[in-house]
Amino acid sequence: MTLIKTVLPEKAQGDIKKGYDLFLDRGVKVPDPFRLLSASTGIFNIMVERNQYYSSHPNLSYSLLAHIRYFVSTKLNFKFCRQHNRNLLIMQGLNENEIEAMGLDPDKSMLEENEQLMVKFVLNAMESPEAITKGDIDNLNKAGWKDSDIFDALVQGVGMIDHNILMKVFKPDF
């Protein structure tokens, strides 16, 4: 039983409906962590803006962002987000066998080399933040990434943590 009240997609109105429609209009189920955010319209709206920012990001592709979320949620065993992002990868053309073969190795992904480098950076930064050096950032810059891209990619990865904790605390049953 979900410990707090949330808004069902079919009963959504106003800002919550607009936010849900961003997924539903693309034929995607409203992700469970996003649905949980409907408990707070203010936080929900902040996350809608965040998602809109990333969806029109000039340098971080939709595919790269989905891979970051997939790898992070897989590595940290965030089942709520893993399945959603796995489905997004399938919608982008990957099949189950390709995803399984990829495992936790960005080098086995269908991403460009500079995007693989970015995924590795995000995973390494989340695993051992204190081990990141200026050399890591320089390597990403040499691969064509701006500092703002690096920052935004890492924010996308670490953002998975808050969703996971919220899901565990409020125990949604949807």
Classify domain 62-170 at the CATH superfamily level. Answer: AhpD-like (1.20.1290.10)
Sign of CA dihedral 61, 118, 76, 104: positive
Confidence at 18, pLDDT banded by 50, 70, 90: very high
Q: Which residues, in sequence order, are CB contacts of 121 under 8 Å at separation 6+?
A: 132, 136, 140, 150, 153, 154
88-102 residue pLDDT tens:
899 989 999 999 999
Distance of CA 158 to the CA centre of its chain: 9
Report domain extents, the chain: 9-55, 62-170
Q: What angle do CA 108, 114, 119 make, to 5 degrees?
A: 60
Residue 83 has pLDDT above 90, yes or no: no
Q: Give the mean pLDDT of 22-42.
A: 93
- Which CA distances in Å does 174 have to 23, 53, 100? 16, 27, 26
Among residues 11, 20, 27, 28, the alpha carbon closest in space to that of 45 is found at 20
What letter would DSSP give residue 110? S
Confidence at 115, pLDDT banded by 50, 70, 90: very high
Confidence at 174, pLDDT banded by 50, 70, 90: confident
pTM of the model: 0.91
